[in-house]
């Protein structure tokens, strides 16, 4: 596996900077989840990103490329490190502000808007390249779905823990 497909350029420097920044933000945030829950949040973001990249992002659909081109490089793997802190921040804010159900839709829409903003910056810096009629607007559907599913899974696990606590009492 090569380090980069072409030259080590602006997009590679940007990704390294973004990874350091996002993990720096994660390290500064209070750790409000258990170790198991934190690992599940990280794993969820890596798996969903991997699924999208290796299904709609790969031939025959081939709607986008990451970094320099279609080849799978070390820097493509580095891009995956951007997702876990973002997912953690999403659930952290959800928990910290105890988002009520009536505001949940607005919370997810706000976070989708933030995610689109981050993706737009990544696109401008040459991290994502849209192909075959794809554009950033279609990512809205992906973010809405992924973030909603994360909340559903989180609440599903919370209900389970609450049931277990009742049983032990």
Partner 1 sequence: MIVTFYFTLSWMMTGFLTFNRKESRGSREEILFLVLLTCLINTHTYLGLFETFKWIKTATTPKLYLAFLLFRSAFIPVFVSYLTLHIVNNTWKKQILLFLLYLLVIIGTDKINVYSDLYTFKHWNHMSTIIYYLLYLALVVIAFKWFQGLKIPEVKNANEVGRK
Q: Tell me, by CB under 8 A, how many residues bind partner 1.
A: 28
Token pair listed for 8: 């080590």
- CA nearest neighbour of 83 among 44, 35, 52: 44
Tell which positions 86-125 bind partner 1, by CB under 8 A.
Answer: none
**Helix or strand run (H / E) with residue 4:** none
**What are the helix (H) ranges across 1-138?**
10-28, 35-53, 74-80, 83-96, 101-124
- CA nearest neighbour of 113 among 139, 88, 95: 139
Q: How far is the CB of 51 from partner 1 (least distance, A)?
A: 6
Task: Give 70 or 126: the residue with its C-beta nearer to partner 1.
Answer: 70
Select from 60, 98, 100, 102 the one that contacts partner 1 (CB under 8 A).
Answer: 60
Site stretch for partner 1 (CB under 8 A), options 54-62, 98-106, 116-124, 139-147: 54-62
Select from 105, 135, 160, 162 the one that contacts partner 1 (CB under 8 A).
Answer: 160
Radius of gyration of the chain (CA): 17
Q: Residues interacting with partner 1, by CB under 8 A?
A: 1, 34-37, 39-40, 43-44, 46-47, 50-51, 54-55, 58-61, 70-72, 153, 156-157, 160, 164, 168
């Amino acid at each position: 596996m090569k380090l980069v497909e072409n030259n080590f350029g602006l997009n590679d420097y940007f990704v390294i900077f973004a990874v350091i920044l996002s993990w720096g933000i994660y390290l500064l945030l209070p750790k409000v989840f258990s170790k198991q829950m934190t690992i599940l949040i990280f794993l969820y973001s890596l798996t969903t990103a991997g699924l999208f990249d290796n299904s709609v992002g790969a031939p025959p659909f081939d709607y986008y490329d990451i970094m320099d081109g279609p080849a799978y490089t070390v820097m493509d793997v580095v891009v995956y490190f951007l997702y876990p802190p973002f997912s953690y921040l999403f659930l952290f804010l959800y928990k910290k502000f105890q988002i009520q159900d009536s505001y949940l839709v607005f919370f997810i829409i706000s976070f989708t808007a933030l995610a689109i903003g981050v993706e737009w910056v990544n696109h401008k810096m040459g991290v994502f390249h849209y192909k075959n009629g794809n554009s950033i607007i279609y990512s809205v559907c992906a973010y809405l779905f992924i973030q909603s599913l994360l909340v559903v899974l989180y609440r599903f696990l919370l209900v389970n823990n609450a049931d277990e606590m009742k049983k032990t009492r």
